[in-house]
Structure 1
Amino acid sequence: MRIDPRRDRFPCCIVWTPLPFITWLVPFIGHVGICREDGVILDFAGPNFVCVDNFAFGAVSRYIQINKAKVTFESSLSSGSCLFNEEGDTHEKEPTWDDALRKGTQEYQHYSYNILTCNCHSFVANNLNRLAMRSGGWNVVNLAVLVFLKGRWVSKTAMVKSLLPTVIIYAIGLLLGGWTFIASCCVLACLLTGWFIMGTYCFKKLIQL
């Protein structure tokens, strides 16, 4: 299937949309999901809840389509079903992209949501590791960097809708609060970034995957 933003279909993609208030202050933070082969979006949106075909915070603004040639699947992934060949012998069915996402969805339906320790980025990183994309090793930090640097805007309208609130908030803040407001936003961004970096690379069990 081809990408079709009008129907919210993004086959084999990572998708991103801004979060109200948080993205307005820290533009590189947003809500992410991962899509099945048919383009349906899956995203971890709350305690024990993975949204299917209903992106939690609105329409997709940015996306990255993954080259399936770079997907090898983790060694433990198995679809759990068998196929018969012409001689009647059985062999295990090869795992698919959707098999990996199905296992990730089943796992996260039993997880509590916490924006600081187990969030939508955790869910997507977990699935990328199941897919063993680029040999795995995905976490919330390198996933956020990938989306921020490589994400493609769905359209110019989506880009304006995502960035305009930030421009307005910063303009009003600079007008009323001066550089104190800008400094406060920078401190907030540094604290959030530092938390996820420390939780990912220094205290590895702090951020759940």
Structure 2
Amino acid sequence: MKVEVQKKDQKNMPMDDEGNHTSSPTDYGSSGGGGTTAVLDTRRHRYPHCIVWTPIPFLTWLFPFIGHMGIAYSTGIIRDFAGPYYVSEDSMAFGWPTRYWVLDPLQAQGGISGWDRAVYEASEVYKTRMHNLVCDNCHSHCAYALNLMNYKSSSSWNMVWLAFGMLIHGRFVGFSGFLKTWLPFLIILSGIISLSVLRPL
């Protein structure tokens, strides 16, 4: 699945051997310009300027609205706060996304460059933090990036807003993404209902 996404600027960023832009701290300028096109490609796991989400085994099976979240550069490469003092790149902690929420990089302060710089800086900050499942987690990392870029002129993004945003605006990565998200929960729910119906009165 490929979706073209219009971008404002992405200039002078170094590339790796596969033609992907790399994420060094000097890659992200503050000025805009030019006109390029990024491609949202779920098969290659490229989600430019998206918030992405994937199930957490056992936890999502019981509570399907709870999962693991990451945020992608304008190149589509995902960063996610995967554990204590560790922010992964292009390898999500619990598998590739099953849902994604496309955001508008032009709503970020500094445009495309501002978006990329904020994702990079948020990731560097979270490399120094202890992971806490309840109050400072993968959702918090994404919210921190949005606050750094002042997305939609707001610095009040938090884990709750992002959870609701993904629930409302998130798209499934095909039917398989829907199944990976909901099937375990539905199986467990069906089992509970069956047991309650079949048990002797």
TM-score (norm 2): 0.75
Aligned residues: 158
For 2:16, the equivalent position in structure 1 comes to none
Question: Which one is further off, 131-140 or 145-154?
Answer: 131-140
The offset of 1:132, in angstroms, is 1.1
How does 1:112-151 map onto structure 2 within 5 Å? 112-136=130-154, 137-151=156-170
Specify the structure having the higher radius of gyration (Cα). 1
For 1:159, the equivalent position in structure 2 comes to 178
The offset of 1:95, in angstroms, is 5.1
What SS does the corresponding residue of 1:32 show, helix, strand or coil? Answer: strand
What does the per-residue CA deviation read over 1:137-173, in whole Å, with 9 as the maximum and x for residues that have no partner?
1011111000011101110121112111110011112
1:171 and 2:200 aligned: no
Structure 1, gaps ≥5 residues long:
74-93, 179-209
The offset of 1:177, in angstroms, is 5.0
What SS does the corresponding residue of 2:190 show, helix, strand or coil? Answer: helix
Alignment equivalent of 2:120, drawn from 78, 82, 102? 102
What does the per-residue CA deviation read over 1:30-58, in whole Å, with 9 as the maximum and x for residues that have no partner?
11000011110000010000010001111
For 1:197, the equivalent position in structure 2 comes to none
More helix by share: 1
1:25 and 2:46 aligned: no
The offset of 1:176, in angstroms, is 2.7
The offset of 1:123, in angstroms, is 0.3
How does 1:75-86 map onto structure 2 within 5 Å? none
Percent identity between matched residues is 41
What does the per-residue CA deviation read over 1:171-204, in whole Å, with 9 as the maximum and x for residues that have no partner?
11222356xxxxxxxxxxxxxxxxxxxxxxxxxx
TM-score (norm 1): 0.72
For 1:4, the equivalent position in structure 2 comes to 41
CA distance in 1, matches of 2:76, 2:125: 21
Conserved? CA contact 2:51–2:100, under 8 Å: yes
CA distance in 1, matches of 2:157, 2:170: 16
Instruction: Flag as ranges the 4+ runs of structure 1 deviating above 4 A.
Output: none
The offset of 1:22, in angstroms, is 1.0
Q: CA RMSD in A?
A: 1.5
CA distance in 2, matches of 1:69, 1:38: 15
